[in-house]
Amino acid sequence: MTTTVYVPIDSAATSVGANAVALAISAEAKRRNIDIRLVRNGSRGLLWLEPLVEVVTVDGRVGYGPIAEADVTALFDAQFLTGAENKFSVGIVEEIPWLADQQRITFARVGVIDPLDINDYEAHGGLKGLRTAIALGPSKTVEEVLASGLRGRGGAGFPAGIKWRTVLETESAQKYVCCNADEGDSGTFADRMLMEGDPFTLIEGMAIAGIAGGATKGLIYIRSEYPDAIATMRAALLIARGCGLLGDDVLGSGKAFDISVRVGAGSYVCGEETAMLESLEGKRGMVRAKPPIPALHGLFGEPTIVNNVLTLGTVPMILAQGAAAYQALGADRSRGTQVFQLAGNIARGGIVERAFGISLKELVESYGSGTRTGRPVRSVQVGGPLGAYFPASALDVAMDYEALLAAGGMLGHGGIVVFDDLVDMAQQARFAMEFCAKESCGKCTPCRVGSVRGTEVIDKITNNVDRTENLELLNDLCDLMADGSLCAMGGLTPIPVLSALRQFPEDFQR
Amino acid sequence: MAHRVSPWALEAGQELLQRLPADERLILPALQAVQQHFGYVPKEAVAQVAVTLNVSVADVHGVLTYYHELRTTPPAPITVAVCVAEACQASGSRELVAHLETEIAPLGGRSADGVVDLVEVFCLGNCALGPAALINERLVGRLTATTLESALSDARVAL
């Protein structure tokens, strides 16, 4: 019987040698005259184990990792094709506690299936959501999404169903669904992994949004820093058109919907929805003033559903399993699950999908197992470059939209970046201003000029030039940026700056 | 895979702009198509994009100078885009960049032999396996000075 071997093709896995491992396994099997079926799956998200090789056995998929190219002969010698235990073993992958404890909904298929095999996708519950949406019709589909409590996973947390209802109720000859895949926040990679590991769920989610909102055209705006995700999405779109998931008659519904991929050009602020729309129109990625909201006046002035990859990628599961099942998970007003991303100096980094409400401490300490360097955790930044720095003593915060806001932070796109005790927090605060200065679109003065002044003022403070006055000036500048900026770029840059200053004042005093 | 650079040619420019799909007859996709073909956006292309799309040269120039990745000069055969954002900082990218700046070129510069451009990038989505870099289109993770050097020599061999 042919044994099936999985080696991830996810770019995190290939960045540490998975392609070489896959080639070596094929070559070694051939040399030994063993017939294997090699499948390139997405990553399970246990990134510290990558490259993680899995073998299908009667007991389940047995894992070995991390495997280097040079380990492959030894792996064969140690009978990995039978699932035998050896020094590379991590056991049955789905029974590894790190993974078994998770509540995978958005990421249910990532790492499990062959990303570009539509039959594998369907065998694992794919297309059920779209068929349900077609049967329900637009209004009832919108009601389901509303009832699920799904909020925008890009960072703003706006209820997805409300956007969809607005678009549905707005008359227009041409409406759009725009998927924001400009995942620029450092510490986040879930959009990339979903696109590389389960691209059809995003396509299905966008088709559902199209049917629900009455849009026939979808666009995915993917950042150019993700060449593999771009290639996977393009390949998946061709397959989707070929099997009638996209086109003039989506799964026999009589409704048309198609999607194209657009590639960014290295601008962080294009992750802001209105800047993304400008960029999709081919212009400079300048933020628009809101109102009008994109649901009424979006791409080319037409009603547009704008959602993040994770938001749209979760919709098929919600429709397939019912809104109530999703709504039952979570805490307070944050319903369902969040795909947390453990990053930075962390021993066990990767994807942890859990219901909202899990504590930051559990994510960093239990899942993350502390730092990769083995030094004490000193600081944790939550929610990307515009998120707050928490000291190691204050990790007892519940991870949901409102609780994090109350703790002076924000959830953002769910990225968690861990720093050890060698971090210089004044340097991190300065970097937040520098980043804002480099990436500001330039439309509003508080962001464009404030960020440059911010780096200068921080330099004066750390060099002990008129310290008291400059500290006051920095606080004043941050207030102005927070209150006067047009979008989150300038508006939230004060969060990392002030959280660093308030929690780690000693670093600003040399 | 090396960056392909070809000299500006009017006919080639015209042809690729005419080939743009109807819904991509917009400034950014047009400039991206030009850059993909020529390796950069030659100044002659700016006027041509403006004429083809019936927009002003100023509009095209505005888009060209807004996006970090659009370039007006030819790239080196190899680009090392090293992540300098927070997650990689936490994993030692500052030290790595300092090393690369002595070995290759200052950030934003080109190596003495003209083969390698060293540029900064904010996040490659490999935040649990940092420091990360993109060498042309190949993502590399858990970088040290040694592993980056070996990935770079692979890229040199592939030229």
Q: Nearest 5°: phi and psi at A260?
A: -125, 155
- pLDDT-derived band of residue B2, with 50, 70 and 90 as boundaries? low
Burial of A97 (0-12, 13-18, 19+ CB in 10 A): exposed
Q: Are A70 and A224 in contact (CB under 8 A)?
A: no
pLDDT at position A1, please? Answer: 77
Q: Is the peptide bond before B21 cis (omega within 30 degrees of 0)?
A: no
Q: Are the Cβ atoms of A267 and B68 closer than 8 angstroms?
A: yes
Region A408-414: mean pLDDT is 96
In a mutagenesis test of the B interface, which of A186, A237, A267, A310 is the best target, namely the one with the most B β-carbons within 10 Å?
Answer: A186
Q: Are the Cβ atoms of B63 and A282 closer than 8 angstroms?
A: yes
Compute the distance between CA of residue A377 and CA of residue A365 in angstroms, rounded to an integer: 9
Each residue's pLDDT tens digit, A312-360: 999 999 999 999 999 999 999 999 999 999 999 999 999 999 999 999 9
Chain B contact for A82, CB < 8 A? no
Question: B154 to chain A nearest CA, in Å?
Answer: 13
Nearest CB among A228, A265, A372 relative to B69 is that of: A265
pLDDT at position A406, please? Answer: 96
Q: Are B137 and A225 in contact (CB under 8 A)?
A: no
Q: Are the Cβ atoms of B139 and A187 closer than 8 angstroms?
A: no
> What residue ranges define each of the domains in chain B, with the CATH number in brackets?
10-66 (no CATH), 78-157 (3.40.30.10)
Compute the distance between CA of residue B84 and CA of residue B94 in angstroms, rounded to an integer: 7
pTM of the model: 0.98
Each residue's pLDDT tens digit, B117-130: 999 999 999 999 99
CA distances from A53 to A13, A91, A318, A422, B8 (A): 10, 11, 31, 34, 47
Q: Are A194 and A236 in contact (CB under 8 A)?
A: no
One-character DSSP codes across A366-433: IIT-S-SSSSPEEEEEESSTTSPEEEGGG---B-SHHHHHHTT---TTSEEEEEETT--HHHHHHHHH
Chain B contact for A244, CB < 8 A? no
Region A355-370: mean pLDDT is 98
Each residue's pLDDT tens digit, A480-494: 999 999 999 999 999
Q: Are the Cβ atoms of B126 and A189 closer than 8 angstroms?
A: yes
Compute the distance between CA of residue A261 and CA of residue A238 in angstroms, rounded to an integer: 11
Residue A345: list chain B partners with CB under 8 A: 90-91
Q: Are the Cβ atoms of B125 and A183 closer than 8 angstroms?
A: yes
pLDDT at position A510, please? Answer: 75
Give residues with Cβ within 8 angstroms of A278, minimum separation 6: A284, A285, A286, A287, A288
Q: Which two tokens stand for residue A100?
A: 């078994």
Chain B contact for A343, CB < 8 A? yes
* Neighbouring C-alpha atoms within 13 Å toward the C-beta of A464: 4
Give residues with Cβ within 8 angstroms of A125, minimum separation 6: A108, A109, A317, A320
CA distances from A39 to A1, A91, A115, A337 (A): 16, 19, 10, 28
Q: Are A165 and A277 in contact (CB under 8 A)?
A: no
> What residue ranges define each of the domains in chain A, with the CATH number in brackets?
3-96 (3.40.30.10), 118-327 (3.40.50.11540), 333-420 (3.10.20.600), 425-508 (1.20.1440.230)
In a mutagenesis test of the B interface, which of A14, A15, A47, A178 is the best target, namely the one with the most B β-carbons within 10 Å?
Answer: A15
Q: Are the Cβ atoms of A415 and B127 closer than 8 angstroms?
A: yes
Q: What's the ipTM?
A: 0.97
Give residues with Cβ within 8 angstroms of A263, minimum separation 6: A221, A222, A223, A224, A230, B32
Place of tokens 């991190």: A428
One-character DSSP codes across A182-203: ---STT--HHHHHHHH-HHHHH
Chain A contact for B88, CB < 8 A? yes
pLDDT at position B1, please? Answer: 46
Each residue's pLDDT tens digit, A454-469: 999 999 999 999 999 9
Chain A contact for B16, CB < 8 A? no
Enumerate the β-bridge partners of residue B110: B117
Nearest CB among B66, B90, B137 relative to A419 is that of: B90
> Where do the DSSP E strands lie in B14-137?
78-83, 109-110, 116-121, 133-135
Question: B48 to chain A nearest CA, in Å?
Answer: 16
Nearest CB among B63, B81, B123 relative to A283 is that of: B63
Q: Are the Cβ atoms of B127 and A417 closer than 8 angstroms?
A: yes
Residues 138-197 of chain A whose Cβ lies under 8 A from any Cβ of chain B? 183-189, 191-193
- pLDDT-derived band of residue B65, with 50, 70 and 90 as boundaries? very high
Burial of A234 (0-12, 13-18, 19+ CB in 10 A): middle
Each residue's pLDDT tens digit, A60-116: 999 999 999 999 999 999 999 999 999 999 999 999 999 999 999 999 999 999 999
Question: A170 to chain B nearest CA, in Å?
Answer: 23
Return the number of CB contacts < 8 Å for A and B.
Answer: 150
Each residue's pLDDT tens digit, A286-315: 999 999 999 999 999 999 999 999 999 999
- pLDDT-derived band of residue B6, with 50, 70 and 90 as boundaries? confident
Question: A448 to chain B nearest CA, in Å?
Answer: 14
Is B3 a residue whose pLDDT tops 90? no
